[in-house]
Structure 1
Amino acid sequence: MKTLGILSLDEDVYRTLLEQPGSGTSDLSACLGMDEASVRASLERLSLHGMISFGEHGEPQAVDPGISIARLAEERLKRLQDEQREVLSSSHLFLHQALQWWRKEGGNDHVEPLADCEPLHSRADELIFFARHEVLTMQPNDFAAAEGLAGTRESDLRCLRRGIALRALVPRQALEDTTTAAYLTELIENGARIRFLSGSFERVLITDSSAALVQSAHNSTSESALLIREDGLVRTLQSLFDHCWSSAADAASVLLPAGTESPCDAFQLRVLEAMTHADKDEVGARELGISVRTYRGHIARLLKRLDAATRVQAALHARDRGWI
């Protein structure tokens, strides 16, 4: 229940009340090996969460978990949605603030406004072409027309074939168009990771944590797009992307047939290979051309995906699946 904001100590008290109705403070203290002051504090917290009530004589009574857990989950989802809206609203200010910074600096080689939509596509293709490790995209709405989508498809598939990790955030409304849904499904089947994001957000492309292309989803004027290579601004955009990613819904569970597992992408396979033979994280990270922190993040995600507690166990599971 930690994800719902319940302490493990409080969860133990709640479970005990469910299993042993009628238990008082002293009973709970003896059963759980806790002092009575800690038990009383736990009961107060559980009461505030609506998980217990107190009887006529002050005895704690567990509320039906079907009611209390559902309420907690609903409150947690509301907090996440509020947080997501707050983060997304900040993204609408990013373009304006970046332009202000650029003008204040009197122009800067690290921030380049793009004049119209034509160079926007060519710059995006250029960034993806020269990417070496990872491409992150946020596509807010109105996917390109069929001919444009075909070009994007080829660029994305070529990126995946080169072993570049691709993560994309798209609106769930994208499923309403069968061509777009088929395109997203094909990307997932080829190793891309795609999630659905609610709310309005900017059109963003980030490559290798070093360059970003951002365009306002609400403005198509000549000053609505920026090519950014300034480290601090790119890091800010990547933090925004990662935050949105953490709260977005996995598209594979919707687009792939039931029981179908999204394949391990080429870059994840390279991480697995490095993990099996590199004796130090620094060696593996250097081999892949990424930071140690990023390398360890990839390994943590692989351990979770392979349901492994250790790296050795992950390697064995990966071999069982034929990944390495």
Structure 2
Amino acid sequence: MLELFGLNERAEHVYRALLALGAATPGTLAERLALPLPLVQNALAGLESNGLAAVSAALGDHYVAAPPTIALAPALSQRRHELHEAERAVESLADEYRRTGGAANGVADLVEVVSGVSAVRHRFEQIQLGAAEELMALVTDAPVAVRPEENVVESVVVARGVTHRTVLSRDTLAEGQVMEQMALALGRGQQVRIAETVPTKLIVADRALAMVPLRTLGSPGEPAALLVRAPGLLEALIGLFELCWQQAVPVRFSSDGQLPVDDEGDQPDQTDLQILSLLLAGLTDASVAKQLDLGLRTVQRRVQRLMVLTGVTTRMQLGWQAYEKGWVAR
């Protein structure tokens, strides 16, 4: 986290340990962090040169940490200044682009075509990293340039507090790692729903910028995408997402297996919760068994157990009871 201030991971660990201890010798820090003494001494030298630590005046063999608000404030202020200057430079370049006619009648600035795997991947990551409040995504079973498991920036964006809603087509569940990725996303607090069909891939950032894939551009098979900033088109794409979202089935199961308990007694476990979510998404018993790597009879036996547990005789009643008891999201 402190790499922006020129500290590597080891130096950050040493600095945090110093903050926790108040004062410590290099040997104490090495023992606490389970690191070789020379590495700790090297990290302390770096902290000292950056004004983040100093030798104690009272205890000559001890180091003390400088207060972070004092030691890091100048660098943080410089970073803010650099970011502000970068924003001004981008605005200046955009103005120059429009003045020189690069964006004919402003249309090219509102709709842009990006082609090539590298370019599409880069813009896809830029859109996510640029989101400040909300990301909305439609996902189909045909990746254009980035597969779900390759989307490493998604977790970074969600960690910043960006709301993330995703609608998956049911066909995507046939992909090998989709279930694992969906569990990770739900564990991060993302909202995921499954629809019978999804018309197209789509990602929208802050309701201000959208990206839609194009089948081909130029040579056959070359991936391409359309970046949309035009208000009218954006409204249509956002409306498409909201329609898919309303018609999709919510999915909820967390990696820690925690479930709401409304009374004492037997409760569904993590596997039961996953089975319920997938059945409500429209999968057959056989498909659920394949996705969760279970036997068909195991799935059917667990469903029957849940019906007995809820006191119902049909699967429709089981779905209703699952909602009522909070086992799956509404």
Range of TM-score over shorter length: 0.3 to 0.5
The answer to which structure, 1 or 2, has the higher relative contact order (CA under 8 A, 6+ apart) is: 1
Q: What TM-score results when the alignment is normalised by the length of structure 1?
A: 0.43
Query: Rg: which structure is higher?
Result: 2
- Richer in helix (by share): 1
* TM-score, length of structure 2 as denominator length: 0.42
